[in-house]
């Protein structure tokens, strides 16, 4: 069988959908695979071969990977901090997907395998200061990642490394840092902070309510990576000869309060903040050190938070308005 297909798992999800779009735009034949029914995919492209498969089984992974020249494994059970802190077992079960996908990829002799890891692999002791100078790739060890989700990602990174060492399967690992943008989760409990804040501000503006809830004291800090930068970094890393994990993340560090300020400015409103101090918070400060990605790829994320949030807020606002059956007004 000719190996000319590019496979994207988790294609019905946020990052996966954008990746499929980019690959199709570059002229690649794409097989898009996800567990979810097609009508729940964030983006569904008729030009791709779309499959609904449970990739926790060996048989389905072999179906997904047949004739695959390259494989992007983005399939995982995940969400924002509110989800991963309360669904640790479900998050860890994603190891079944990566295990079976690696075995299938070896069997079909794919030329390259990409695993989407996360900044949640980084040791907790390196993330206690809101003014985080940036996490270097080496800061994942000694290991003390985010419980559940972070451990699964770190373990799967090691599997990729050893499949390369022992079986000669070329693997690439990107550590994503808080990716956000349009065509993603913004409600229901799996959303991440940028989408959650955009939704809360939009709902407050539409309802006339002058108050929103903020998890924690708002002084916890993060860097947020716009989806276009994430896709660019993913494709550059896949095409490179880099075998070690690399950060794919913005180094623009902001507090959650500053994130809310920015969304309020975009929306043209100012809201009273109610701080929920018992909510799931995660680490105190997380940022991306881009020394290695600049060295290896000659690139780093460059889309400012203000630009990405404006696009994200507009999309989420539209979704909320359409779901309420109202005419869109800005």
Strands (DSSP E) found in the chain: 5-9, 30-34, 49-52, 68-73, 112-118, 171-176, 179-180, 211-215, 221-223, 225-226, 246-248, 253-255, 272-276
The reported pLDDT for the residue numbered 242 is: 98
State the average pLDDT over residues 256-277.
93
CATH superfamily of the 181-223+252-324 domain: UDP-galactose 4-epimerase, domain 1 (3.90.25.10)
pLDDT at 85 over 80: no
pLDDT band at 210 (very low <50, low <70, confident <90, very high): confident
State the average pLDDT over residues 115-139.
92
The reported pLDDT for the residue numbered 146 is: 85
Higher pLDDT, 298 or 93: 298
The domain ranges of the chain are 5-179+226-248, 181-223+252-324
Percentage of the chain with pLDDT > 90? 75
Asked if 83 and 141 count as a contact pair (C-beta separation under 8 A), the reply is no
pLDDT band at 330 (very low <50, low <70, confident <90, very high): very low
Interacting residues of 299 by C-beta distance below 8 A, sequence separation 6+: 232, 233, 236, 293
74 SS3 class = coil
pLDDT band at 329 (very low <50, low <70, confident <90, very high): very low
For residue 142, say if its preceding peptide bond is cis, omega within 30 degrees of 0: yes
Supply the pTM of this predicted model.
0.93
State the average pLDDT over residues 49-74.
97
Among residues 42, 122, 149, 226, which one is catalytic?
Answer: 149
Ranges 54-58, 132-136, 216-220: which has the least confidence: 216-220
Q: Which fold has domain 5-179+226-248?
A: Rossmann fold (3.40.50)
pLDDT band at 328 (very low <50, low <70, confident <90, very high): very low
pLDDT band at 185 (very low <50, low <70, confident <90, very high): confident
State the average pLDDT over residues 102-115.
97
Q: Is 313 an active-site residue? A: no
State the average pLDDT over residues 141-165.
94
What is the Cα–Cα distance from 289 to 251, expressed in whole angstroms? 7
What is the Cα–Cα distance from 206 to 214, expressed in whole angstroms? 18
Alpha helices, DSSP H only, in 1-125? 14-25, 58-65, 81-84, 88-92, 95-108
pLDDT at 280 over 70: no
Mean pLDDT score of the chain: 91
The reported pLDDT for the residue numbered 128 is: 86
State the average pLDDT over residues 212-228.
91
């Amino acid at each position: 069988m000719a190996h000319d297909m590019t496979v994207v798992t988790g294609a019905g999800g946020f990052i996966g959908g954008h990746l499929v779009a980019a690959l199709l735009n570059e002229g690649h034949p794409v097989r898009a695979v996800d567990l979810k029914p097609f009508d729940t995919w964030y983006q569904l492209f008729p030009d791709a071969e779309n499959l609904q498969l449970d990739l926790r089984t060996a048989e389905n992974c072999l179906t997904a990977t047949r004739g695959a020249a390259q494989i992007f494994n983005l399939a995982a059970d995940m969400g924002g901090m509110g989800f991963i802190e309360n669904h640790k077992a479900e998050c860890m079960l994603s190891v079944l997907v990566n295990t079976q996908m690696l075995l299938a990829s070896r069997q079909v002799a794919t030329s390259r395998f990409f695993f989407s890891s996360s900044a949640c692999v980084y040791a907790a002791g390196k993330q206690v200061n809101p003014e985080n100078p940036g996490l270097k790739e080496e800061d994942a060890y000694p290991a003390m990642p985010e419980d559940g989700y972070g451990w699964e990602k770190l373990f799967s990174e090691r599997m990729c490394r050893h499949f390369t060492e022992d079986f000669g399967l070329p693997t690439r690992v990107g550590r994503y840092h808080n990716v956000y943008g349009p065509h993603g989760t913004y409600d229901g409990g799996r959303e991440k902070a940028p989408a959650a804040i955009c939704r809360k501000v939009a709902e407050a503006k539409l309802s006339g309510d002058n108050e929103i809830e903020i998890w924690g004291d708002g002084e916890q800090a993060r860097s947020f990576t716009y989806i276009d930068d994430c896709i660019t970094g993913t494709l550059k890393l896949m095409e490179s000869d880099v075998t070690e994990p690399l950060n794919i993340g913005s180094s623009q560090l902001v507090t959650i309060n500053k994130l809310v300020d920015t969304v309020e400015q975009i929306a043209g409103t100012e809201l009273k903040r109610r701080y929920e101090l018992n909510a799931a918070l995660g680490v105190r400060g997380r940022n991306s050190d881009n020394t290695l990605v600049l060295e290896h790829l000659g690139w780093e994320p460059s889309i400012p938070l203000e630009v990405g949030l404006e696009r994200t807020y507009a999309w989420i606002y539209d979704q909320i308005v359409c779901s309420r059956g109202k005419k869109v007004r800005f």
